[in-house]
Amino acid sequence: APGRVIFSGIQPTGVPHLGNYLGALSNWVRLQKTAAPEDELFFSIVGWHALTLPQDPDTLAASRKDLLATLLAIGLDPKRSILFHQDHNPVHTELAWILSCLTPIGKLRRMTTWKTRLAASRNANDESEVDESLLNAGLFTYPVLQAADILAYRATHVPVGEDQTQHLELCRDLADIFNRTSGRPIFPLPSQLNTISRRILSLRDPTSKMSKSSPDLQSRILLTDTAAQIKSKIRSAVTDSTPGITYDPLARPGTSNLLTILSACTDEDVHAVAGRYEGKGHGHLKADVAEAVEDLLKGPRTEFERIRHEKTFLEAVAKAGAERARERSEATMVCVRELLGL
């Protein structure tokens, strides 16, 4: 049987945080370990997606390099997985254009991500007034670029979180429209690969997810944080004044978030972890969480500090990844262009 083709991407918008690691990147490493030999794995640093928001060029250039070093540091193997920069393969934009010409704009208007952007750009006093300077066409059409990222490799499985379900549905719709319009079933309809899905919350506001967009630097732990930084951030994590420790995400989001982090680090069931802390206090829990996070991140951090300075090696990895990605997608594009009369 032919293997699965697995594709996933991550934006180069700064050092990944613990949420990115536990929610996405650690799944990539697990997939690489558990994949069948005939499975193909593509992991892409999607620089074009980052341009949907204003980026400082020097910062973006540094983030692109550091993210590749991070992917290697957490254990992705460039011999096993195809690690590459999206912007090294022009096929992504070519296919995105072709797909955009098949995309009913109504579908894009229904994207939750777009609706959120649109809502954020509305005048607080007059809802009908939209500040168009906060919107660009890329923000509207990037789900099409995402579909092209996936379909360029005829991916069959996409490991992404629940927040991406709607985008993946659009991707399947576009694959189906192309297949039916051209009369050739060229694109498989990719399915969402259910990986361990965890939502890590902000350490300072446990009603929202840990995110790089929060201005409060204490709200997130970065993969490059030192043991002292990890300790201080966990110590100042917002919890509650209820005595004892219980896992109750609705009533006790901060406390439960710490238990989620601990159980993710030690790979245990969260209820089993909670059971061990029943009669104990937050100080005790926080000390253990800090230690577990440090244990988890120490290896990747040390590797990252080592690899990020190996410029020649990093360039060679990026170049080899791009060549493999281009070659694989070109095979698809030859058919696509021919079917369109190009």
Pick the binder of ligand ADP from 160, 170, 171, 237 (CB under 6 A).
160
* Cβ-based neighbours of 15, under 8 Å, separated by 6 or more: 63, 66, 70, 222, 223, 224
10 binds ligand ADP (CB under 6 A): yes
User: Least distance to ligand ADP from the beta carbon of 113, Å?
Assistant: 10
Nearer to ligand ADP, 63 or 100 (CB): 63
3-state secondary structure of 330: helix
Interaction between residue 190 and ligand ADP (CB under 6 A)? no
Nearest residue (CB) to ligand ADP, 69 versus 336: 69
Tell whether residue 199 is a contact of ligand ADP (CB under 6 A): yes
Asked if 171 contacts 9 with a C-beta cutoff of 8 angstroms, the reply is: no
Q: Is 163 in the site for ligand ADP (CB under 6 A)?
A: yes
Tell me how far, at minimum, the Cβ of 164 lies from ligand ADP, in Å.
7
Choose which of 30, 122, 198, 276 interacts with ligand ADP (CB under 6 A).
198
Show Cβ contacts of residue 250 under 8 Å, excluding neighbours closer than 6 positions: none
Select the residue interacting with ligand ADP from 212, 235, 276, 326 (CB under 6 A). Answer: 212
Among 181, 191, 213, 302, binds ligand ADP (CB under 6 A): 213
Concatenate the DSSP letters of all residues of 5-23 into one string: EEEEEE--SSS-BHHHIII
13 versus 98: smaller Cβ distance to ligand ADP: 13
Q: CA 80 → CA 12, 24, 36, 73, distances in Å?
A: 22, 18, 11, 15
Query: What Rg value do the Cα atoms of the chain yield, rounded?
Result: 21
Asked if residue 81 binds ligand ADP (CB under 6 A), the reply is: no
Judged by CB under 6 A, the stretch of 115-123, 203-211, 271-279, 291-299 that binds ligand ADP is 203-211
Using CA atoms, how far residue 289 sits from 75, 251, 258, 283, in Å, is 23, 20, 7, 10
Helix or strand run (H / E) with residue 42? strand 40-45
**19 binds ligand ADP per the rule CB under 6 A:** yes
Does position 211 interact with ligand ADP (CB under 6 A)? The reply is yes
Pick 206 or 321: Cβ nearer ligand ADP? 206
First to last CA, the chain: 33
In the complex with ligand ADP, the residue whose CB is nearer, 24 or 96, is: 24
Residue of the chain from 144, 210, 245, 290 that contacts ligand ADP (CB under 6 A): 210
Q: Interface with ligand ADP includes 11 (CB under 6 A)?
A: yes
Instruction: Give the integer Cα–Cα distance in Å for 272 and 263.
Output: 9
For helices 165-182 and 311-340, what crossing angle results, to 10°?
Answer: 40
Q: Which residues make up the interface to ligand ADP (CB under 6 A)?
A: 10-11, 19-20, 23-24, 160-161, 163, 198-200, 209-213
